[in-house]
Chains A and B, each alone.
Chain A
Amino acid sequence: MASAPQLLRRRVIVGAIAAASVGVFVVDNVVSLQMVTGRSMQPALNPDANRLRRDVVLVDKMVRGGLTARLRRGDIATLASPFDPDRRLVKRIVAMPHDCVVPLGRPDSFVRVPKGHCWVEGDESFHSSDSNSFGPVPLALITARAVTPVWPPARLGARLSPLPEWKKARVYADGSARLSDSPP
């Protein structure tokens, strides 16, 4: 028979493991906080040029793996870099599968986004390496969707800006109608 203090210790250990695994599950699969570094999403994220001030963003992890239909054009997503599985990129989804995109800097050409892929771009095109350099990326690389900034506190709950109009003009939804012409 275990004595009372031993029983208590056992309960504490089991409780801690249970709490930790629920926590890890939620952070991995439901909702989490992420720090954004770099300038590629200015002015939606990190609007301040000061490198010491970084936004912390509330992210929705249920879109992990790109399986859900909840990902839309214009969503700000974090994805695993195609060139380094341990690096996370923060980009905006500009086009979804089967859309046609006119790449930046090549106005006379267009790219058809293949099945299961998406076209991602940073808002600050001059400080961003994105689909304009490495092409469409698999939706399965997406790890999360940004919901709202939570830090700095002044911007808590701020709405993230939608897809800029000039970018919409470069996207042909399903390869036919231009995104900026379609009714909202």
Chain B
Amino acid sequence: MSGDGRLLGFWYVLPYLIGLLVFTAIPFLGSLYLSFTDYRLMQGASFIGLENYADILTSDRTFTRSFNVTMLYVLITVPLKLAFALFIAGILNSKLKGIGFFRTAYYVPSILGGSIAVAVLWRYMFADTGLINMVLTSIGFEAINWFGNPGTALFTITLLRLWQFGSAMVIFLAALQSIDKSLYEAAAIDGAKPWRAFFAITLPLLTPVIFFNLIMQMVQAFQEFNGPYIITQGGPLKSTYLLPLYIYEMAFKKFDMGYASAIAWVLFAVIMVLTLIAFWSSKHWVYYAGDKRS
């Protein structure tokens, strides 16, 4: 392509560069700036330094509550989802008849994903006399007041996201199927038990996709909005009032854009720190095939 000049490729990438600057980079820096201002819609911004952050970290009890709930939600949802996705992928990864059917059935909830209709369905399913309680009472358990109880209300949202384990599972399954079968045969001939083979062969080879899924699911879980907004409206007692909900109400209901930006940056910082920890630690536990280390 030498005859076309060195900048040729640049022209194809240009739309991305413009989009990056206008819709990502400038807003990114803009929100950092806004977080240091008192900015109410209609009034314009006045610089107040670290005041928003000081308020958030010292005197805003709603933030403290919301932050704790968010951490709890992510810490429960992400490991459960990954473990479940890996477990099912492991079961699907054998010469089973009907594997295509099961893979499709498990993937369907992920397709419907964050749809409002699914959140609405959840609201009816976990209602006092909803599907879940009817099933519980019919097999002899007591009905649970899912939305009335802070512990169970958050769990309904976790269950909604667990129900959508399909996309993580499909990635695990693809990785499992790409593992060279001769490794297992060699292990069997050496007398290794199946569980030993799982920990010595399967798990190490899966660490790159576990890492990928972990990062993606974590970033996503920290931004959960539709679930609490539709299903529980943040209640009861703000037990499902996740940070994205707080940011939304601060920014688009109270139009306190400066303060909302500061909360968004705190959330961003938390996600970044955890992502960096994951990346930093990955060299100790993520195994890349062809790597010299073993």
Q: Do A and B bind each other?
A: no
Q: Could you list which residues of chain B lie within 8 angstroms of chain A, going by C-beta atoms?
A: none
